[in-house]
């Protein structure tokens, strides 16, 4: 238990507590001692408040600075470290050359151009793909060879050319079959004529 604070009274050379003096503040014998004790306590209270204010004034900015520094280092440490990959000069040169070549092969000047397919159908170029093929239709088409949802002029031309080759082969087969039939008919007629001639010769030879 803390000891109660005592104040010195000069008039009777004694020490008394603040409560003892406060109870006798109206007594002329003790009033001066009470006023001195009260002034001393008030002065100490002002010093304590000023000291607390100074501590608060210094500690709040310091705390804010610490918080900001902590957030800065925490944010920087949370960033992902992307490992650097060593790329040789040949790889970088070849990659740049390939990108340059791919960009140069794409020619957009043919967009809007009207083309004619092998069957004589006219189509309009809508856009150019990265591989240089010219898109003439968006959406499903039976001539879409790679089933990517777009029909290109090259795909349609290939389908029509294959169909033309198929028709030509069928026509040639039909022509060959007709020629064989004609030869067989001619051979049959020749054989029949020879038989007829032989019969007539036999009749003439008989007396």
Please give the Cα distance from 120 to 130 (Å, whole number): 27
Q: Does any domain span residue 83?
A: no
Judge whether 95 lies within some domain.
no
Same domain, 67 and 122: no
In angstroms, the first-to-last Cα distance of the chain is 177
Range of the structural domain that residue 132 is part of? 108-190
Determine, yes or no, domain membership for 162.
yes
The answer as to whether 176 is a domain residue is: yes
pLDDT per residue over 99-122, tens digit each? 555 555 566 777 888 888 888 888
The pLDDT of residue 3: 65
- 5, two tokens: 């604070």
Quote the tokens at residue 70: 């902590």
Q: pLDDT exceeding 90 applies to what percent of the chain?
A: 14
Work out whether the CA dihedral 104, 108, 109, 110 comes out positive or negative.
positive
DSSP state of 106: -
Going by DSSP bridges, is the β-strand pair 134-138/127-128 parallel, antiparallel, or unpaired? antiparallel
- CB within 8 Å of 6: residues ≥ 6 apart: 15, 16, 17
- What is the distance between the alpha carbons of residues 16 and 9, in angstroms, rounded to a whole number? 7
Tens of pLDDT, residues 3-34: 678 888 877 778 888 888 888 888 888 888 88
Give 38's contacts (C-beta < 8 A, 6+ positions apart).
Answer: 18
Q: Is the pLDDT of residue 55 over 70?
A: yes
Q: Is residue 118 part of a domain?
A: yes
Residue 1's pLDDT band, with cuts at 50, 70 and 90, is very low
Q: With a cut of 80, say whether residue 43 has pLDDT above it.
A: yes
Residue 116 shares a structural domain with residue 42: no
Task: Give the model confidence (pLDDT) of 131-175 as tens digits.
Answer: 888 888 888 888 878 778 888 888 888 888 888 887 777 666 666
**In a domain? residue 130:** yes
Q: What is the pLDDT of residue 26?
A: 86
Average pLDDT of every residue of the chain: 77
Return the sign of the alpha-carbon dihedral for residues 144, 149, 151, 155: negative
Other CB atoms within 10 Å distance of the CB of residue 158? 14
pLDDT at 50 over 90: yes
Taking CA 36 as the corner, what is the angle to CA 35 and CA 40, rounded to the nearest 5 degrees? 115
Asked whether residue 116 falls in the same domain as residue 185, the answer is: yes
pLDDT at 137: 87
The alpha-helical segments, DSSP class H, found in the chain are 18-23, 28-77, 89-105, 153-205
Q: How many CB atoms lie within 10 A of CB 33?
A: 22
Residue at 134 is within a domain: yes
Q: Decide if pLDDT at 93 tops 80.
A: no
- For residues 124 and 177, membership in a common domain is answered with yes
Total domain count, the chain = 2
Residue 97 lies in a domain: no
Please give the structure tokens belonging to residue 79: 């960033």
Give the residue, 204 or 133, on which the prediction is more confident.
133
């Amino acid at each position: 238990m803390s000891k109660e604070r005592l104040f010195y009274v000069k008039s009777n050379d004694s020490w008394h507590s603040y409560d003892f003096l406060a109870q006798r503040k109206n007594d002329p014998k003790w009033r001066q001692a009470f006023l001195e004790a009260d002034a001393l306590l008030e002065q100490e209270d002002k010093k304590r408040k000023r000291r607390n204010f100074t501590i608060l004034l210094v500690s709040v900015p310091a705390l804010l600075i610490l918080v900001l520094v902590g957030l800065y280092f925490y944010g920087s440490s949370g960033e992902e470290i992307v490992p650097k990959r060593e790329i040789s000069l040949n790889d970088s040169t070849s990659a740049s050359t390939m990108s340059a070549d791919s960009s140069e092969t794409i020619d957009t000047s043919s967009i809007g151009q009207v083309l004619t397919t092998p069957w004589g159908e006219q189509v309009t170029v809508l856009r150019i793909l990265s591989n240089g093929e010219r898109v003439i239709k968006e959406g499903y088409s039976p001539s879409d060879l790679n089933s990517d949802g777009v029909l290109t002029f090259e795909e349609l031309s290939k389908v029509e050319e294959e169909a033309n080759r198929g028709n030509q082969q069928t026509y040639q087969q039909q022509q060959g079959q007709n020629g064989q039939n004609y030869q067989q008919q001619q051979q049959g007629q020749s054989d029949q004529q020879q038989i007829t001639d032989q019969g007539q010769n036999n009749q003439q030879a008989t007396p």
